């Protein structure tokens, strides 16, 4: 507890404190704790609960939308990293090609536990770099099972490797499809029944059983425990109970994840590290530098901005917990020797220890570069300032898509000046062709908002479809103008509480508004006079928004 307190005091990730505890008290140092299979298995549930929490942040629709990142970025990263590592191991270190492949597959894995937690804590899960990183990590989790089948087949003589991998892939697809289908059918109903009893204890127990049950189901089918937990989180994210479940599960996640990092730290042999510093230093440099170069190459090919590419590369430039499992299996199968196992394991653990510092440093560096980048450089700031120079008591519209352009139309009808900010050149060109005052600029940069005249504006509108991005913009605006009205659009009312807490004056859920309009049209079609139908709509709207203002924690179906 004290080590975590000091870690927070020094503003470093608490996971480093857990790692240091494991190193200091483990069998290779003070020998207070000894490694045991039971402790390792118990600690693995830390990753399980972490992946469940990450699943709560992702809907099935979002995952389908990320399929290019998962199977594009993820597959390319794994293939290139494994191939490059295997080649270096074979050519430079004189190992067999089988040893090279085994080490390459292990090194290709990155740490979901470290990276996902840091992204979650810094609200970067849904940033561009966060999506790219999570896409790669999800593919790695899916690839664990084929790797666990591939290594024994690689060590044993004979054929049938492709057949075994095909069977494993078909099995994984069948299990995941079944879990998603069953979960969509019954999870919402289950939580509705539990909620009727108004028992926090029952809700927590139900959540725990879902996490453990789905993890056990995927483990029985040969998949990882963490994958089942992630699917469970995604399914619950589709329900209205997502936020309550997330709050209930957090203490279990944090404690078990801390135990996982302690067990990781216990694996590091300090005597071996000190005795092999030159070779180990080179191995760590090759591991971190090589993985970073691979991701920089992939992001360059995909035309990712440099600042985003740096973040993504740093977030994936370390070994992972599943990589530790693979390298240990390779040693047990005699694919690698004891000395190779020790130096690979130590390099992987050291890279995991360095990862939080590297990710934080890359984030600061990308911000510094972003200040000089064309998207946020002096030219852009000047362009925004020129378009807002003559404006006063205007409205700043952050996001000029479908909703933003419609708001601009109404403002124009009332002769209210506005300036629109958007980072999509297509939207900007379309708006400018219609005579709208729109300029390129990301509203999540304080200097862009200042240039847009937020200090003299009468109101601000945030029309981002992504609630996480909207939250960031709201906080920046509120820091610059504590009293300015901020109107926010959200795709559903699940995010009303979060956006209100961030400083939004009013949050408009599109699902609610579209439902009211459909209801009004239905009444008119059924013969009810338009005035009376709109009266019903106004009454429901007033009551709903009043309840949201007076009780932000209330969440009901629209």
Mean pLDDT of 284-308: 90
Residue 491 and residue 510 in contact, taking contact as beta carbons nearer than 8 Å: yes
- Average pLDDT score over residue span 385-412: 88
Q: How many CB atoms lie within 10 A of CB 494?
A: 19
How far is 37 from 55, CA to CA, in rounded Å?
27
- Of 210 and 172, more confident: 210
Q: Lowest-confidence range among 20-34, 154-168, 377-391, 451-465?
A: 154-168
Which residues, other chains included, contact 320 with Cβ-Cβ below 8 Å and sequence gap of 6+? 109, 110, 111, 112, 113, 140, 352
Q: How do the domains of the chain map onto residue ranges?
A: 11-372, 378-550
Tell me which of 318 and 246 has the higher pLDDT.
318
Q: Does pLDDT of 280 surpass 70?
A: yes
Angstrom distance (rounded) from CA 467 to CA 230: 21
**What number of H helices and E strands is found in the chain?**
26, 6
Of residues 546 and 93, which shows the higher confidence score?
93
Lowest mean pLDDT among 52-61, 203-212, 257-266, 453-462: 52-61
Residue 207: pLDDT over 90: no
- Give the pLDDT score at 104: 92
Report pLDDT for 369: 56
Report how far residue 385's alpha carbon sits from residue 105's, in angstroms, rounded to the nearest whole number: 51
- Confirm if 74 and 140 have CB atoms less than 8 A apart: yes
Q: Is the pLDDT of residue 80 over 60?
A: yes
Q: How confident is the model at residue 375 (pLDDT cuts 50, 70, 90)?
A: very low
* SS3 category, 442: coil
What fold characterizes domain 11-372? Na+/H+ antiporter like fold (1.20.1530)
pLDDT band at 469 (very low <50, low <70, confident <90, very high): confident
> Using an 8 Å Cβ cutoff, are 51 and 236 in contact?
no
* Surface-to-core class of residue 529, CB atoms within 10 Å of its CB (0-12 exposed, 13-18 middle, 19+ buried): exposed
pLDDT in the model for residue 188: 77
- Confidence (pLDDT) at 372: 46
CATH value of 378-550 in 3.40.50.1360, 3.40.50.720, 3.40.50.300, 3.30.1330.60: 3.40.50.720
3-state secondary structure 270-323: HHHHHHCHHHHHHHHHHHHHHHHHHHHHHHHHCCCCHHHHHHHHHHCCCCCHHH
Q: Are 277 and 337 in contact (CB under 8 A)?
A: no
Per-residue pLDDT at 52 exceeds 60: yes
pLDDT of residue 370 exceeding 70: no
pLDDT number for residue 552:
42
């Amino acid at each position: 507890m004290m080590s975590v307190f000091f870690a927070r005091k020094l503003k470093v990730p608490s996971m480093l404190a857990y790692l240091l505890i494991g190193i200091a008290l483990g069998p290779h140092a003070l020998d207070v704790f000894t490694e045991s299979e039971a402790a390792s298995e118990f600690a693995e549930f830390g990753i399980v609960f972490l992946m469940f929490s990450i699943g709560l942040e992702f809907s099935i629709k979002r995952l389908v939308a990320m399929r290019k990142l998962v199977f594009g970025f993820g597959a390319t990263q794994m293939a290139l990293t494994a191939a490059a590592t295997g080649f270096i191991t074979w050519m430079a270190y004189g190992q067999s090609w089988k040893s090279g492949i085994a080490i390459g597959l292990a090194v290709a894995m990155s740490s979901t536990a470290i990276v996902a937690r840091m992204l979650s804590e810094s609200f970067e899960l849904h940033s561009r770099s966060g999506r790219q990183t999570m896409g790669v990590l999800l593919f790695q989790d899916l690839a664990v099972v084929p790797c666990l089948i591939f290594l024994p087949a690689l060590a044993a003589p004979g054929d049938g490797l492709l057949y075994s991998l095909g069977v494993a892939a078909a099995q994984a697809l069948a299990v995941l499809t079944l879990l998603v289908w069953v979960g969509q059918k019954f999870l919402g109903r289950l939580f509705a029944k539990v909620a009727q009893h108004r028992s926090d204890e029952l809700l927590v127990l139900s959540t725990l059983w879902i996490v453990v049950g789905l993890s056990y189901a995927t483990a029985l089918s040969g998949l990882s425990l963490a994958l089942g937990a992630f699917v469970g989180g995604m399914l619950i994210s589709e329900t209205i109970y997502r936020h309550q479940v997330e709050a209930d599960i957090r203490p279990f996640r944090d404690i078990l994840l801390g135990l996982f990092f302690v067990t990781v730290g216990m694996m590091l042999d300090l005597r071996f590290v000190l005795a092999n510093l030159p070779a180990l230093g080179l191995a760590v440099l090759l591991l971190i530098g090589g993985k970073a170069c691979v991701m920089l190459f992939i992001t360059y090919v995909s035309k990712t901005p440099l600042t985003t590419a740096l973040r993504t590369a740093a977030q994936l430039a370390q070994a992972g917990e599943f990589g530790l499992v693979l390298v240990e299996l390779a040693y047990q199968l005699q694919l690698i020797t004891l000395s190779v196992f020790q130096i690979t394991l130590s390099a992987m653990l050291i890279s995991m220890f360095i990862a939080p510092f590297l990710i934080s440093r890359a984030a600061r560096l990308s911000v510094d570069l972003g200040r000089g980048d064309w998207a946020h450089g002096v030219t852009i700031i000047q362009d925004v300032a020129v378009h807002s120079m003559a404006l006063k008591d205007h409205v700043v519209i952050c996001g000029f898509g479908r909703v933003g352009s419609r708001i601009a139309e109404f403002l124009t009808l009332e002769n209210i000046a506005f300036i629109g900010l958007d980072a999509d050149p297509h939207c900007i060109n379309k708006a400018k062709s219609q005579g709208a005052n729109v300029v390129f600029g990301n509203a999540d940069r304080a200097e862009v908002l200042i240039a847009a005249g937020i200090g003299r504006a009468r109101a601000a509108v945030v029309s981002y479809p992504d609630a996480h991005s909207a939250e960031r913009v709201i906080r920046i605006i509120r820091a610059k103008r504590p009293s300015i009205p901020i109107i926010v659009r959200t795709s559903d009312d699940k995010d009303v509480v979060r956006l209100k807490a961030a400083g939004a004056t009013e949050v408009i859920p599109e699902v609610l508004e579209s439902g009211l309009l459909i209801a009004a049209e239905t009444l008119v079609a059924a013969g009810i006079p338009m005035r009376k139908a709109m009266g019903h709509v106004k009454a429901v709207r007033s009551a709903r928004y009043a309840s949201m203002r007076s009780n932000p924690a209330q969440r009901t179906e629209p």
